[in-house]
Structure 1
Amino acid sequence: MKFLSTAVLLLSAQFLFGQGTVADYTRAQNLKKQLTNKIENLPGQFYWNDKGDLFWYDRNTLQGKEYILVNPQAKTKEQLFDLTNVFSLVDEKLGRKIENRVISNDQIKLLDEDQVSLDIAGYLWIWNRRSSQLSQGAASGNKERNMRYWGQRKQGNAYREVESPDKKYVAFIRNNNVFLAKKGNTNEARQITFDGNTANYYSNDIQWAPDSRKLATVKTQKIEIRQLTLIESSPKDQLQPKIQTRDYVKPGDELAQKLPILYDLEKDRLSVFDATLIPNQFYLSDLSWRDDSRAFTFEYNKRGHQVYGVMQMDANSGTSSFLIQEQNKTFIDYSGKKYREDLADGKEIVWASERDGWNHLYLYDGITGKVKNQITKGNWVVRKIVHVDAEKRTVIFEGSGVNAAEDPYLVHYYAIGLDGKGLKLLTEENANHQAFFNKDYSQFVDTYSRVDQPPISVLRDKNGRLIMELEKTNSSLLEAAGWRAPEVFKAKGRDGATDIWGIIIRPTNFDPAKSYPVIEYIYAGPHSSFVPKSFYSNPSGMYELAELGFIVVQIDGMGTSNRSKAFHDVCWKNLKDAGFPDRIAWMQAASKQYKYMDIGRVGIYGTSAGGQSSTGALLFHPEFYKVGVSSCGCHDNRMDKIWWNEQWMGWPVGPEYAASSNIENAAKLEGNLLLIVGELDDNVDPSSTFQLVDALIKARKNHDFIMVPGMGHSSGGDYGERKRRDYFVKHLLGVDPPAWNQY
């Protein structure tokens, strides 16, 4: 017989590689359960009381969750409460068994060393741990979170009286203009502005100066806001489908322009901010008065994100000016790195900037707008400002990359003077740190770990000195169950010089004598970095996928954040890049070291921005990536929300958008592609995926597509996860996946 049948070839592949079997699927399906309750003394979050002299935390033990109270002065640890016992007492007092027997940490508040407040079954309960008594308090009044969307409209010209600080006057909007009246006598109101109309109205967000002698607001342009329309095909409460709509602004859409105004009551003088200083606004922040009423400030983000400023209007002269002007030839990362702290009523300002190529802090003279000194400097980045102490003139912050011998993404805590002197490391261990400070920042809990090192929690003083040990997580049972820590791996990127960092995950039954296809889990959104740095037993479900017979990797390539500005700038007007040259170089280096990594069989998957990138891998790098699964991807940045896409792709909308579009480049598809989308995705417009499907059909490109009814922005839920696993097994392993009822 000259040719073997497909079935025989598939059976041969399954026999040869022994991967993608029913046993593998069963092991993957049971892995999460198998690893549950295998970690001893795993700390959760830490919560200080209001006074700052006590704190509590939750920890996972082999028996379940425990709640621990710590007295730092006495250096004692005690049980805060037994949740099972508390629920039993609540049942007894209510005369019924409550169904929800789970409590989140935000429902717990430490009152003092003896008492804790618990929000259970709609009531606030006080547990006294000394007397073991539970008393019922008032109804808790928990409310559902109100979802809002960027660009969502609000009624800014509705009638609303705004009282002056001295309570003598009220200001309000009538017929789109500002009126002023003595309190209680609005019938004799005085009109302040006269040019307001329905198309350009004055906002009711009126801000009085603290001295009650002046007020400010903004004149706002009314615009039509784009609507995102979604069809709910299978609603639970009716047979017929429903239509849902959202305010949803997209790149290139018109944005409302605002113009601040200042009114001086004593001089009866109206001053208008100089509009030439604030053209093409992406947004203006709220107006904020100085305590001494000398001026108000606001922040101005010019559309295109290459100019960002702190603006000021002098209350005495009515003059307009830039107080701080930040400029960049690519983009200012306003959504991730902007920081401003005004000190001494704005006499000084702490400001974050990447102007020297790294994210650092600067101290400004808040009167002259001149830089007094750079606070932090070096080839490393400030990640987050924890606290600025104006009296002691110090800053506590998170930083990464200071120690060149470490993974540059590992977060440490530091203190430094506002004069830029005395940089002090507060957390020395080579790990990713998370700190929880008390009220006066004299002490903090430090939990540190790496992906290959379980967490350790300690209490430190303000200088980082150890006060007491709290928890040391034991992962021996986890390892005995077959779990192996991800391997941290670094290799040179596209330039042959820059270190690229990632992790490698292997199956529990890993055999170095076998050959394993490689699957990359990608999220290349420029707003952060994404490879996990702290200890997780199963980061992003990658272990289950590895169990089927794969090596699974995750990598932070160029174009992502938390490195140098040059590293980040790779994404600018170029989201299709997604760091792929670095990712490919990284996997090639890993495969040279580990011969069992078969980079002739590489798959990729991702969600949201990762959905865009995983499809882009097959369009722009088909020589390397062979199989892709993309969930709710932003397949054309012109179709997605404005704030995220104009931040990286720029404005006006130029040809770069089409160049990065998966839809425009659909005809380039090679390999096997599965697209998944939820019909109710209100984060990324699902029409982006529908249009990609349409383009692939018109280009006569074979692909697979799943639309999940009733689902929002997600990876497809359990159904999508199963289909993703099957897709890689079929197209990378060459094995027909087993029927779902077989495991």
Structure 2
Amino acid sequence: MTTAITYEQYQRAESLLAWNTVKDVLNGNISPQWVGNEGCFWYRRDVRLGNECGKQFIFVNPSKKSKEPAFDHVKLANALSNALKHEYHPNHLPFESFSYVDNQQAIQFQVDETHWICHLDTYECRKTNPSKEIPPYELPSPDGKWSIFVEEHNLFLRCLQTDKVIPLTLDGKPYYDYGTHPEARTSAVFDRLYNEKLPPAALWSPDSKKILSHRLDQRKVRQMHLLQSVPLDETQAPIIHSYRFPLVGDKHLPLAEFVIFDLEKGTMIPVQAKPVITGIMSPLTPSLQTAYWSDDSHLVYFIDMARDYRSVRLLVVDTATGKTRTLLEEKSKSFLFTDLYNLASLAGGMNIRWLCKSNSLLWHSERDGWSHLYLFDGQTGKLKKQITSGSWVVRRLLAIDEEKGWIYFTGSGREAGRDPYLQHLYRVRLDGTELTLLTPEEGEHEISLSPNHQFFIDTFSCIDKPPKTVLRRNDGSLILELEQADIAPLLDKGYQIPKRFTVKAADGITDLYGILVPPAQLNRENKYPILDYFYGGPQLAHTPKQFTWGGEYNAPVDFTGCAQAFAQLGFAVMIMDGRGTPFRSKAFHDYSDGRLEKAAGLEDHVAAIAQLAQQFPFLDPNRVGIYGESGGGYGAARAILTYPDVYKVAIAGCGNHDQRYYLASWGERFQGLFDPELYQKQDNTTLVANLKGKLLLVTGDMDDNVHPALTMRMVHALMEANKDFDLMIIPNRHHGIGADAYFIRRRWDYFVEHLLGAKPPKEYLIQDPKFPG
């Protein structure tokens, strides 16, 4: 050991963990609440009160260009103080949200368990009986008169006015039931342990008269088991938890048989189509967006993706008869990629919309090598028009104003000289003309479009520029500047502004983009070790593009892998997306096709490290560590075994080290249908003889996403090869080990000791926020 890391450095590192920085950026995350149909809205803003932070509620009328308090905060604070016999400050009102009632002449809100109404003419506050809340596991109808829920394998309808319950089905049975979600959703055991009851897998028709759901057949799906060695009730003996989870090459997969319930006729209509393969989510999950109702409630259309993700069909169902026809089909020699909505999941939403007025279909495709929108005839399935084109990417379809003929969507890579991953808002005519950039500023743009499509709120930032929020018209013209984020509290803690970089891939041609978080108290005369925070999955882009502090989604989530904490300990942290990841060209993404052993451009990371050492002379390319979880755990182990002379220390968390023993819908999608030779190449256990450096394997014993057996297979192979390594098993942890306070501290210790060559403080205690799982 050459030196020691101080207790104070660990304290500063802890202060920069995500759950300790959520409130350190003021007005960084504006969440508008639209009111009525005129484009008005209110939002909550942060205000600095000495060393504390308070809040105000602001009402905005775009037509009047006005921005003012949503109500008189002083009068309301006084009224509540009198009513509750407790003194309230105008900027510390005891609620986080409210709703306007009585034509905006009054507001309703909740204080603790009590609901209140305040009339804004007199500021008289009185208790009120709220409408009965719908349980989160029920799915309400659009007209607010009904809800549906799952009980004992069947689907039930409840009248919200009378509470009368009507069974919609009676023949459901275990693993052949109605409205349920697949247990391959990667959280089935977690949901059971923490009593997470999900709403049914179903979609209401717009007129609230029909329901699309499915009967899910998991009877023959492979059964997996987890042994809970330390039950939550520690007086119990170890418990076995079982769940259905298909692996690569398995004969049987979860199958969804679609059905339609006609509430007026009291009938159930089977959809006349073969069952649809389900992956980690029901095809009726709203965020997945693979099934839709037409606006007139006469048609249902849904996606049928092939098991190998090389072909997809769009089917249309007559909801009166259940008769089904294929409207269009698309095929590809490599995997089809449709996950453009939910970037953090294995399956995201599709950019598909039915246009009732013109009986047309808006469809997303990469058929010309780039992600673009196409318009098809809704009757014949013939192509009418390619709406967008060019060497750039359509990302998220936000809205269609069919009456006025506009499509609103985000895209990236179109603006010259900018990071090609940055999303901007655009609009284009349904005939493909008048494509217009609506958000000119460089940055990652988060958009909230008004219900009437006349206005939008834009919060934009870069990884090195704090958020700013503005209000614009739908033509992009500026109406008001709403908020500029204040990051002073974050900087006071020692937050290091990340540096953006561009390097060449291993091919020497392709540009790659990443960020570097420099070490704190940087002395450019010294050399600092590099940590590569890695993710090896082809389904998402890993590098954050917006300003990131752990509170950008009002939740303590760290998309930089605790990079700010590591900076306080004397490390530089790099994050980069190599070839084989999405949101560039299809050719860029296809680098992963059938080559998961490349771990989403691992060789590009090796090439980047040498270039970064030239760009930033304070980096030491001879002291490089790598870490990650899940696909990042796979990649971290792969890195130290494939490039042992580059990566000296690796921490591989809950890695899917051999895709043959992971989820079918993941491996088969990116590696291809099972073939022994093809799958042998990606198996990390075949490389264990190459280990030279320090490797720590970590898993939670209740991981119902990547089974602990995948880590234990690595353990077995390393022991057979007589290799030294370290292992940590975390009791009662599911897949989210990155939020475990003890693991975070041990990860710090491991890199400090084996890469920095220093002695960490003995058994430093991080205050655990106790996130479940």
| 2-structure distance, mates of 1:399, 1:473 | 24
Cα distance, 1:62–1:606 mapped onto 2, change above 3 Å:
farther
| 2-structure distance, mates of 1:518, 1:729 | 12
Question: 1:68 pairs with 57, 70, 79, which one?
Answer: 57
Matched, 1:109 2:99: yes
Question: 1:54 pairs with 40, 47, 56, which one?
Answer: 40
Amino acid of the structure 2 residue aligned with 1:62:
R
Equivalent position SS for 1:533? coil
| 2-structure distance, mates of 1:70, 1:94 | 26
Show the counterpart of 1:229: 225
| 1-structure distance, mates of 2:238, 2:81 | 40
1:40 offset after TM fit, Å?
A: 4.7
What is the TM-score normalised by the length of structure 2? 0.78
Q: Map of 1:682-693 to 2, 5 A cutoff?
A: 682-693=704-715
Matched, 1:27 2:12: yes
Question: 2:128 pairs with 131, 137, 143, which one?
Answer: 137
| 1-structure distance, mates of 2:725, 2:390 | 48
| 1-structure distance, mates of 2:585, 2:12 | 42
Spell out, residue by residue over 1:678-697, the C-alpha distance to the aligned partner (whole angstroms, 9 max, x if none): 22222222222222222222
Show the counterpart of 1:627: 649
| 2-structure distance, mates of 1:482, 1:314 | 60
Matched, 1:730 2:753: yes
Amino acid of the structure 2 residue aligned with 1:51:
N
Matched, 1:425 2:414: no
| 2-structure distance, mates of 1:576, 1:147 | 42
Q: Contact (CA 8 Å) 2:519, 2:571: kept in 1 or not?
A: yes
Show the counterpart of 1:311: 315
Cα distance, 1:29–1:144 mapped onto 2, change above 3 Å:
farther
Q: Map of 1:2-13 to 2, 5 A cutoff?
A: 10=1, 13=2
Amino acid of the structure 2 residue aligned with 1:668:
N
Equivalent position SS for 2:684? coil
Show the counterpart of 2:244: 247
Cα distance, 1:370–1:696 mapped onto 2, change above 3 Å:
same
Q: Contact (CA 8 Å) 2:155, 2:179: kept in 1 or not?
A: no
Question: 2:577 pairs with 545, 556, 564, which one?
Answer: 556
Cα distance, 1:582–1:347 mapped onto 2, change above 3 Å:
same
| 1-structure distance, mates of 2:295, 2:41 | 35
1:69 offset after TM fit, Å?
A: 1.4
Cα distance, 1:284–1:82 mapped onto 2, change above 3 Å:
closer
| 2-structure distance, mates of 1:678, 1:137 | 46
Q: Map of 1:272-421 to 2, 5 A cutoff?
A: 297-312=301-316, 321-334=325-338, 335-336=347-348, 338-344=350-356, 347-421=359-433
Equivalent position SS for 2:660? coil
Equivalent position SS for 2:637? helix
| 2-structure distance, mates of 1:246, 1:104 | 40
Question: 2:658 pairs with 617, 622, 636, which one?
Answer: 636
Spell out, residue by residue over 1:457-488, the C-alpha distance to the aligned partner (whole angstroms, 9 max, x if none): 11111111011111122445644654331000
Ranges in structure 2 where 5+ consecutive residues have no aligned partner: 140-149, 159-165, 181-200, 262-268, 285-290, 339-346, 551-559, 767-773
| 2-structure distance, mates of 1:474, 1:216 | 46
1:273 offset after TM fit, Å?
A: 5.2
Show the counterpart of 1:598: 620
Equivalent position SS for 1:519? strand
Equivalent position SS for 1:570? helix
Show the counterpart of 1:7: none
Q: Contact (CA 8 Å) 2:218, 2:253: kept in 1 or not?
A: no
Spell out, residue by residue over 1:36-79, the C-alpha distance to the aligned partner (whole angstroms, 9 max, x if none): 86645434322222334322223334331413313223433334
Size of the aligned set, in residue pairs, is: 690
Choose 333-342 or 441-450, whichever is displaced more. Answer: 333-342
1:198 offset after TM fit, Å?
A: 12
Show the counterpart of 1:191: none
Choose 406-415 or 534-543, whichever is displaced more. Answer: 534-543
Amino acid of the structure 2 residue aligned with 1:66:
K
| 2-structure distance, mates of 1:668, 1:506 | 31
Q: Contact (CA 8 Å) 1:503, 1:554: kept in 2 or not?
A: yes
Amino acid of the structure 2 residue aligned with 1:24:
Q
Spell out, residue by residue over 1:550-609, the C-alpha distance to the aligned partner (whole angstroms, 9 max, x if none): 111111111111111111112222222121121122221111122221111100111222
1:731 offset after TM fit, Å?
A: 0.9
Q: Map of 1:74-93 to 2, 5 A cutoff?
A: 74-80=64-70
Amino acid of the structure 2 residue aligned with 1:138:
N
Question: 2:542 pairs with 512, 530, 542, which one?
Answer: 530
1:707 offset after TM fit, Å?
A: 1.1
Equivalent position SS for 2:242? strand
Q: Contact (CA 8 Å) 2:5, 2:758: kept in 1 or not?
A: yes
Amino acid of the structure 2 residue aligned with 1:300:
D
Question: 1:568 pairs with 589, 602, 608, which one?
Answer: 589
Choose 59-68 or 219-228, whichever is displaced more. Answer: 219-228
Equivalent position SS for 1:610? helix
Cα distance, 1:371–1:604 mapped onto 2, change above 3 Å:
same
Q: Map of 1:694-713 to 2, 5 A cutoff?
A: 694-713=716-735
Cα distance, 1:84–1:145 mapped onto 2, change above 3 Å:
farther
Show the counterpart of 1:180: none
Choose 201-210 or 509-518, whichever is displaced more. Answer: 201-210
Show the counterpart of 1:588: 610
Cα distance, 1:94–1:250 mapped onto 2, change above 3 Å:
farther
Spell out, residue by residue over 1:643-671, the C-alpha distance to the aligned partner (whole angstroms, 9 max, x if none): 33333222245533332122344343331
Ranges in structure 1 where 5+ consecutive residues have no aligned partner: 1-9, 149-153, 163-169, 177-196, 264-269
Amino acid of the structure 2 residue aligned with 1:457:
T
**Greater RCO (Cα-Cα under 8 Å, separation 6 or more):** 2
State which structure, 1 or 2, has the greater radius of gyration over its C-alpha atoms: 1
Amino acid of the structure 2 residue aligned with 1:20:
I
Spell out, residue by residue over 1:409-432, the C-alpha distance to the aligned partner (whole angstroms, 9 max, x if none): 111000001111110010001111
Matched, 1:126 2:123: no
| 1-structure distance, mates of 2:463, 2:27 | 17
Q: Contact (CA 8 Å) 1:54, 1:113: kept in 2 or not?
A: no
Cα distance, 1:86–1:739 mapped onto 2, change above 3 Å:
farther
